[in-house]
Amino acid sequence: MNDPNVLQDTLKAGHSTFEEFRELKVHAEIDKSPPADLLALNRRIRACRLCEEAGYIAEARPVVADGGRWRGMVLIGQAPGIVEHESHRPFGGRAGRELFRWMAGIGIQEDEFRRRVYMAAMTRCFPGKNPSGSGDRKPSRAEINLCRPWLESVLELLEPSVLLLVGQLAIERYLPRRRLEDLIGNRYLEGNLELIPLPHPSGASRWLNAPANRGRLQQGLEHVREAWTGLYV
């Protein structure tokens, strides 16, 4: 993977690393239905009971995106909340409302986003409430490892050129051992993938209370807008 610091220094120096990268992309084929293989994979994900059988969660009800024409961009979140658990709709609760408020601020409406972006997660089932009573429980590494083949299979089928990494778990998977303050607002290349990290939109997070971090978020959203334009406009 390209070193993020070197890559950002290259961009600051005026080189066109990302511009050259985007010129090599094939424009997203947004007028096609989801491939049959992906629909079959979604059915297999829904049938998964591995974390329940292992005793990590009380009930396995994998949340899977359906009905879009996904090409070019994939979002990877952390795990479904209780609203998503009940509705079977990714980002259907409070965090989703905040996420789509962010997107609306850069001119991307929720319906269009859902139609064009496959929304995945590090784990597909509601992990339960945090025993401390504050927010949802963070999925364990064992749960993430059990769910990882589903995520890898989705990425293999869709072959996205842009990943939106929403929240610490997804960011850690691709950009490990770095502070959010050093990551949010930047973009990175890993092979043929452009990575755009964003903070989790959960109301439980206080990271965005700091004005400087809100500025980092806005810069990150500008990168989303630029990637969206390159893919779909």
Statement: residue 37 has pLDDT above 60: yes
Q: What are phi and psi of 203, to 5 degrees?
A: -70, -15
Predicted confidence band of residue 33 (pLDDT cuts 50, 70, 90): low
* pLDDT top residue among 16 and 110: 110
Give the pLDDT confidence score for residue 23 in this predicted structure. Answer: 47
Write down the pTM of the prediction: 0.84
Can you give the pLDDT at residue 123?
Answer: 98
* pLDDT tops 60 at residue 151: yes
Residue 5 has pLDDT above 50, yes or no: no
Q: For the chain, which domains are there?
A: 4-232 (3.40.470.10)
User: What distance in Å separates the CA atoms of residue 60 and residue 103, rounded to the nearest whole number?
Assistant: 30
> pLDDT for 43-54, tens place per residue?
999 999 999 999
Strand ranges (E), the chain: 73-77, 117-121, 162-166, 188-190, 193-198
